[in-house]
Every structure is written in C-alpha cells, then in structure tokens.
Structure 1
Amino acid sequence: MKTVVVLGGGISGLAAAWRLSHRAKGLNVVLVEGSGRVGGWMQSVRTDEGAVLELGPRSLRTAGPAGRNTLSLVSEVGLGGEVLAVPTSHKGVSRRLIFTSAHGLVELPSSLSWLFRTRLPFSGPLLPTVLAEIFRPRRKGTEDESVYDFISRRLGSEIADYVIDPMCRGIFAGSARTLSMRSAFPAVHQYEASHGTVVGGALMTKPDPLPDSAPELVKQAVREKWAIYTLRSGLQSLPLALLSTLEERGVKVHLGTPCTAINFRDQSAQVVCGDSVLDTDHVISAIPSHALSGLLSEDLSPLSHHLLTIPTVTVGVVCLEFKGRVLPPQYEEAFGYLVPSHQPASILGVVFDSSTFPQHNRPDLPSTRCTVMLGGEWFDTLGDDPGNIGTDDIIRIALDSMRDHLGVTDEPSNMVARIHQNCIPQYQLGHSQKLDTISDLIQEKAVPLSLVGMSYHGVSVNDCIHNSFTAVDRLLAHV
C-alpha cells in the first residue's frame, strides 16, 4: 500500500490523516475536503469585541479512553497551553436543568441527597427506584430496544421522561423512543448485558488505569479532576492545529475540492474530484454515510443502499451575547437546560456558556453568552413552511424562549445563527444490524474502504477521533 486518500476534512478525517502520517512513514496520504475549510461542524467565531462563540461543539469531556485519547492529541499538536479546564466540582458542570411548563426550570439529580428527598420533577425519592433496578432481572432475548423502553424498564418512566429523553435531545437532537440503546449508549446497554443491572454495572466498572507513558496533560486532568475543557481560542483551534501538522508532514490537502465519484477496481480505487482523478490503494471515508452513498458505482448499489438508510437531522444553533449579567441569579451557576420532548417548547435547550467558560467572554465589560439549540428530529415544526425555515425564524424562536423561560428581555449585543443541514446521524432501532451488513458487504466485495465519522459508532468529538485512530491502526495492521 503506497497511497491512502482520506475523504472529509472534519475532525474524523483530520484525525485519520494525522494517525496515518504519524504511524506509517513513507505512505502517501491525501486529504480531500469539499468545502474551503477544515473542522466540519466544529466552528468558532470571535466577535469584534473579543468574545468566542461556538457554532458547533463547545466543550470536550475528559473521561474514559476516548476522552484521554483526545487530550493526548491536544497535547501532541501543541495545544496543551491553550486548555481551559473545568473541574467536576464546578457548579457550571454539575448543575443541569430541564424546563417544564408546570414548574419552569428544575434541577436534575446531581448528588446523593437526591436519593432521599422528594424534589421536582419527581414524585418521590429516587432511592427506591435505584434499589429496585439492582434486583430487577435482566431482559431476555437479543432484539434491539429503544433508549426510552430500556430506561423505562430498568429505572421507570419518570427517569426516562425527565432525564434520558432530554439527554437524547441534547446529544443526538433525536427521540429516545426511536434511538437504539445498544448503539446510542453502548456502555449502559453493556452494563445490563454483563452485570444484569445498570446501577450495579456502573458501580462495578472501574476506569482503565492511567499508563506511566500518558502525556503530562492527561495526568494533570486526572490529578485535578477535570470534567470538561475547551481551548482558549475555541475548539476550532484543534482542527486548525491538525491541518498545520499535516502540512508540515507533507500530507497533500485539497480544500474546496468536492469528490464526485469513487471507482473501486482490483484492490485499488480512483477518487474523482472535478476534473482530477486520484489513484489510491485505499480510501478512508470520513464523510456522512448518505454523502458516500451517492459516490459509489452501480456495482456497489447494495452497499450504497444501506449507507443511505442511516437518517440524519438538521439542527439550528443561535449564539447570543448580552451586555451585563442577564440570567436570573439562581441559574448563573449552571450548565444550562434541556427541554423534554413532551413539554410545549420550540427549542431543544440552552447552554449557559458564560457559566462554564467565562474566559470566552468579551474582556472589556461584563457580559453573558448563551447558545440556543433548535430543531433536530422536530426541525420541520419550527415554522409554518417546513421547507423554508431560515435563520430569521430560529433567531425569533430563540429570543422568545429566552424571554419566556428565563425572563431575558434585553436585546443581544451580538448574535450568530446557523442551520446545520443533516448534521447529526440518528442511531435508530436496527442501527447495529445495518453496520454489520455494511461491513459484510465491504468484506465480501474486498472493497479497499474504511468508514469513520459520526454516521457509525458515536457522534461526539472524542468518539470520532478514537474511531478514526482505531480504523487506521486496523488498516496498518493488515498491510
């Protein structure tokens, strides 16, 4: 194998190209990105006054192998000194809220005291629910189960309605009733499969020990108990640093070069980009599955069909900056709030960005930054004309929600809105079976193709980087 073409300059494609250029000396690596920039949905905006607004992911978790893996990458590309970390003890991390029409904003469980008290929105203490789950028998059979059905069966409908349902909207912008538990939350699904109990499985599962060879940044995160972190100039600094490293290593990067077709023949491939054709021994696709589907030739129509069956949703994001402190005092130290799907509200939730990362506020005077998330599976309900919902519509809904839910009537000093078309894949029931079928088809046809990115095994930045590294290591192991 002499040449590998990586399709897609989002974080998955950049991570794959970085790993290839790091692990396989002498390999010709080519990165092809259709737009004029790298980073995909990771996009940071700096206002004229110096505030940083995030139109995509705004923070990264440190927990687990995938979290440590990303921290190691941050360190290796020279961004360790740019990290802004928030410890687990910070109220901006631990205090998470939901909106209910009956009670307004209420806090979700964040400490052991919740086990013994009755607090809204729950009808009683949570201790009986937790104890009952430990002794509840595991489910028989292997049929896929929705997130909502799984949680309702193990922990009851109140936990499903007020904790897990809004969590699914915050992570996937999708419905707990259609998302697959096995695919959307594989670790929690495995707790029951391995231990017969979710609570017991979580308590009995110990984190992987930290190797002595771990970068100092990872050791610092463990020592100081970081929960989340960002970068001083915004998370887009990471893809930009990766791009710079790739160019230094001699990786050929083609921006503004949409791929129009991929022709696989005789254990090789031709990647067509406009009038140019790239000959390659292997293709790593980091573009969405539906985009890849449209690039394949007729002889791979079964593979193309299954790639096309992974649905996506469109999400609106409205970043708001206000002069002064505009949030009610009781909510200033909180991560933000989500809205359960059964509540009458037009948004998915609001992140109180100033609470967790005040370093991103404008430096000249006190201010408040919030991000309103809208749409997802419910995007078509945001306007009277589902096919013609624009940024003006989502800005109006965002400002109305800030007024109705938080009493914020001030005019924003800065405002940036984006509609991210088809940005989050939905791991619906049967997703794992789809992936097995896709993998089988690639192997049967001996197609020199690896699949990475959000469409398959995780939508977080950490998951995307971890899965790209894994795919590259697997490819190089078989060379």
Structure 2
Amino acid sequence: MNKQHPVLVVGGGLSGLSLGYALRQQGVPYRVLEASGRAGGVVESLHRNGFELDAGPNSIAMAPELRTYFEQLGLQDQIVEAAAASKDRYIVRNNQLHAISPHPFKIMGSKFLSGGAKWKLFTEAFRKSKPASADESVADFVARRFGREIATYVFEPVLSGVYAGNINKLSIKEVMPMLVSWENQYGSVVKGLMKNKGAMGGRKIVTLRGGNASLTNKLAAVLGSDLQLNTKVTGVWQNAADESYELSVSVNGLVSVIKASQVVFTTPAYAAANALESMDHPLAAALRNIEYPAMGVLHLGYDRAALGKVPDGFGFLVPAAEQKHFLGMIYNSAIFPFKAPEGKALFTVFIGGANQQSVLQQPPENLQRQVITEVNELLGISAQPVMQQFQVWPHAIPQLNTGFDAVRQLTARFEAAHPGLYIAGNYSTGVAVPTIIRKADDLALRIKEKQ
C-alpha cells in the first residue's frame, strides 16, 4: 500500500469516530470525513428544562474492555450504573403491563402467555424440526421451535425494541445467531440457554452523565483536525499508477479529489452505495436495498406525583398485536434518576420502525397527542406531561432481513478485489455500542498490517 497518503474513513458516526480513534492509537495517519455539520450520527443528547434526553441509544451494556475504553478517553467519572429497578421489565398484553424475564422457567410462571404457549415452551427440548430454508426469518424459526404466540408476544416486541424490525423479515441467523447455534449443537434452544446461562444479558447497564453523546463528542474532540465535517464523498476509484485510492469529495459545494492509502466506508449502506456505484454496481444495489425504517423518539417529562402507582423498571414493550401507536417506552428516571429534575419523571417513547411506518405519516402534533393518550391509559396517569420533545430519524436502524447473506458475500468479494478498501458500517459490524467499538479496534489492526 502507498504510505504517502492517510487512511480515509468515510462517515463520522460512532463507527467512523471509533475507527479514527483506534487508528490514532495504532499510530496510523488517518482522516475522518463526515458529510454533515455534526459528528456522532444517531448518537445525540439534548437538555430541556432540566431533563437530560438521549435521542439515540439511551443506555449501554457495559463490558470490562468498554470500561477501559472510557477510562482511556477520560470519561470514567461520567459513567453511571443503572439502578436496581432496571432489572424489572414489562410487556403489554390486553392493555396491561406484565413482568417479563428472558429465562424460560420464569416465563412459565408469567400470566401473559396462555397454557398452550407455556406447554410449547416446556416441550421445546423434545421437539425435532428442521428449518424450511437456510436463511429463516425470526418469525418462522420461533414458530417452529416455540409456536406463534411466543413469536408474537415475546420475540416480536423484544426485537422491535432492539432493531425496530419486523420478525417476518429479520433473519434469525443475523439478529439472534446463538439460537441457531444452540439448535444445531444441542437440538434445542432451551438446552443451549441452560448450558450458556450468561449469554442472554447479565452485563451492567450504564449511561454517561451529560448524555451518551458525551462519548461521540469526546471522540470528535480527540480526533480534532483529523475529523473533517461538511465533506461528502461522491465517488471512489483506484489509481493504477501508485495503488492509492482517489476520492471525489464535495466540501461546502466545492468538488475536489483527495488520495488515500486505504479507505473505509462506515456510512449507512445507502450512502456507501452512492459512492461505490461506479466500482461495483451489484454491491451498490445490494447496499441500497437494505431497509432503514424511520423512527420517532418522543421524550415525556411528568410531575413525579402524577404517576401514582406506575411501577419502577427499565420500561415496557408493546407487541404489534396490541395495535398501539408506539413500540415501547423506557422509564429513564427510574433507572437513572439524575435524568430528570427533582420531583419529575422522564420517559422515552419509541415510535415507527418496520411495523409502524404509517403512523409517522400523520401530523406530528396528532401523533404525539395519540401516543400520550395511550401511555397515560396504560400507566393510569391522568395528568399531561410538563415537557415533551419529539424527533424523527428518517433512516434509523438497518434491518438485517433474510437474504442479507448476499450483502456479506458481495462485500467479501469486493474487498478481496480491492485490497485496502473496506465496508464497515454498523449494518455489517452490529449496532450495539460495545460491538462497534470492538470491531473498530479489530479493523484498525488489519489496516495497520497493510500499511
């Protein structure tokens, strides 16, 4: 590789910022290019009337290596662990909240599943079945192993909470690969869970004081002049003379060409598709077809006294079968009390996703009024919120639907044909904060080896 030019990272969201930081730690010259005027992507924090709001990720699953990472950045004093109430989670059925646990034996004692569904869960270990296709949807996999009711009232709301996705489309081997592995290894998902008890959660939940954008803001500050905003990459090609890559970029409307020793696309898939079109049309088409449903985030602040008997807990999920105008709600101030002023409470409500695109088409004022009515009804609240903040992400979480294998195959072929050019958006690495950071560290080592 040509060492005369820096590594160019296209995209200044968490994926791009963490990769820039990892390259910096490895001593590799780099530059991060971000098309917008703000770094951080969907990680954004706001402050309204004493409330601390996160419009993107509201919490982070802590791991030892992530704590070390925060300490390296000087963020250790901003880490706040969730209160004990975070262990209590709920699901809505028949307009009522029911406590839920990922442990199958605890689900057996729940009141929101029928006796027939519990029997299918209890007998799953004795059920022999094979997938109809190699790339099975979550809905088909769960219905085959556990029945439709558990697919509808357990897996659908849980994956709606993580991906805002449609389980009839999401690929089981992409979003829950351990279940496929357990079925193959033990012949049973439940047996696999019993033998791998730490696989379903167990990590401490944390947030950063000041908002989770404290992470992306700190990374941007550390990168300094190596982070270039308002710089849109419109194309890329390889210079045969010196093996470098050349990128056409638009900076505040002025187009120029810059060179790179290696290039990494950490942008959303549709943005990478536009830049890669001339190099690999099939890959660009596959990237462009990845679904990014819109998501609405509604923050609601209440007087604490108005909540009455609202149970403390992480929050609740709403199955699509309940026909509400939202997917679920996090009770922020129950798990992180400092998020709300004294005497107040803070909720974050999630709207839209793959199953609810139509609800975002109505006027925002009408939608917010409808959602507040439904939240108040579920929780028995008669008062109106004292603060509300609404934001829509037009392209939120990438959907890893069945057929995503084709994207991985095309990406692998493309990278093999163009050494030093990488596709590393969160659709390929994973959407969780710890995963994004770990993958950035791994990729930085690979890049260094090729320098």
Same fold at TM > 0.5: yes
- Could you list the per-position Cα deviations for residues 453-478 of structure 1 after superposition, in whole angstroms to 9, with x for gaps in the alignment? 22223222222222222222233334
Q: Which moved more, 1:231-240 or 1:459-468?
A: 459-468
Contact 2:92–2:316 (8 Å) recurs in 1: yes
Which has the larger displacement, 36-45 or 104-113?
104-113
For 1:163 and 1:72, how far apart are their aligned partners in 2? Answer: 34
> Matches of 1:175 and 1:165 in 2, distance apart?
7
For residues 316 and 114 of structure 1, the distance between their equivalents in structure 2, rounded to whole angstroms, comes to 32
**Which residue number in structure 2 is paired with residue 296 of structure 1?**
276
Q: Secondary structure at the match of 1:93?
A: helix
Give 2:80's match in structure 1, choosing from 71, 79, 84.
84
Contact between 1:192 and 1:198, CA under 8 Å: does it hold in 2?
Answer: yes
Percent of matched pairs sharing the same residue = 26
- Distance in 2 (CA, whole Å) between partners of 1:112 and 1:299 is 49
* Stretch moving more, 372-381 or 228-237: 372-381
**Contact 1:93 1:334 survives alignment (8 Å):** yes
Tell me, in whole angstroms, the C-alpha distance in 1 between the residues paired with 2:188 and 2:396: 33
| Paired AA for residue 77 in structure 2 | G
Name 1:454's counterpart in structure 2.
426
Contact 1:339–1:345 under 8 Å retained in 2:
yes
Match of 2:90 among 86, 89, 97: 97
Q: Tell me by how many angstroms 1:82 deviates.
A: 1.1
Aligned residues: 441
Report what 1:164 is aligned to.
155
Partners of 2:314 and 2:22 lie apart in 1 by 33
CA contact (8 A) 2:294 2:395 kept: yes
Supply the distance in 2 between the matched residues of 1:452 and 1:227 (Cα, whole angstroms): 27
Whether 2:326 is the aligned partner of 1:350: answer no
Deviation at 1:85, TM superposition (A): 0.6
**Structure 2 residue 204 is the aligned partner of structure 1 residue 227:** yes
1:332 correspondence with 2:311 = yes
Letter in 1 for 2:74: G
2:346 is the counterpart of 1:366: no
Offset, 1:112:
7.6
Q: Which residue of 2 aligns with 1:211?
A: none
Q: 2:296 aligns with which of 294, 305, 316?
A: 316
Cα 1:197/1:260, change in 2 over 3 Å: same
Q: Provide closer, same or farther for how the CA distance between residues 172 and 206 of structure 1 changes in structure 2, counting only shifts above 3 A.
A: closer
Which is worse superposed, 290-299 or 232-241? 290-299
Q: Which residue of 2 aligns with 1:59?
A: 59
Aligned to 2:215: 238
Q: Is the 8 A contact 1:86 1:226 kept in 2?
A: no
8 Å CA contact retained: 2:117, 2:150 = no
- Please say if residues 115 and 125 of structure 1, whose CA atoms lie closer than 8 Å, have aligned partners that are also in contact: no
Structure 1 counterpart of 2:99, which letter?
E
Distance 1:308 1:129, change over 3 A: same
3-state SS in 1 of match to 2:8: strand
CA offset digits 1:151-209 (Å, max 9, x no partner): 1222222221111010111111111111000011122222222332222222323769x
Instruction: Determine if contact 2:299/2:389 at 8 Å carries over to the other structure.
Output: yes
- State the partner residue of 1:410: 383
Q: Distance in 2 between matches of 1:153 and 1:431?
A: 21
> Residue 90 of structure 2 contacts residue 317 of structure 2 at CA under 8 Å; is this kept in 1?
yes
Deviations 1:346-388 (A, max 9, x none): 11111111111112111xx3001001111111343216xx4xx
Unaligned stretches of 5+ residues in structure 1: 209-221
Match of 1:272 among 248, 266, 269: 248
Q: CA deviation at 1:308?
A: 1.2
Distance 1:9 1:198, change over 3 A: same
Measure the CA separation in 2 of the matches of 1:57 and 1:277: 35
Change (3 A) 1:307 1:115: closer
Q: How far is the alpha carbon of 1:412 from its aligned partner? A: 2.3
TM normalised by structure 1 equals: 0.85
Distance 1:34 1:167 in 2: 33
Could you say what secondary structure the match of 2:16 adopts? Answer: helix
The structure-2 alpha-carbon separation of the partners of 1:326 and 1:8, relative to structure 1 and needing over 3 Å to count, comes to farther
- The alpha-carbon distance between structure 1 residues 433 and 325, as it changes in their structure 2 partners (threshold 3 A), is farther
1:361-440 matches, within 5 Å, as 361-362=340-341, 365-382=342-359, 386=361, 389=362, 391-440=364-413
Deviation at 1:13, TM superposition (A): 0.5
User: Aligned runs of 1:68-83 on 2, under 5 Å?
Assistant: 68-83=64-79
Verify the 8 A CA contact 1:450 1:471 in the aligned structure 2: no
1:442 corresponds in structure 2 to 415
**For the residues of structure 1 that align with 2:188 and 2:170, how far apart are their CA atoms?**
20
Q: CA RMSD in A?
A: 2.5
Kindly indicate whether the alpha-carbon contact (under 8 Å) linking 2:166 and 2:355 is maintained by their aligned counterparts in 1: no
Give the whole-Å Cα distance in 2 for the aligned partners of 1:369 and 1:103. Answer: 21
Distance in 1, matches of 2:367 and 2:41, equals: 21
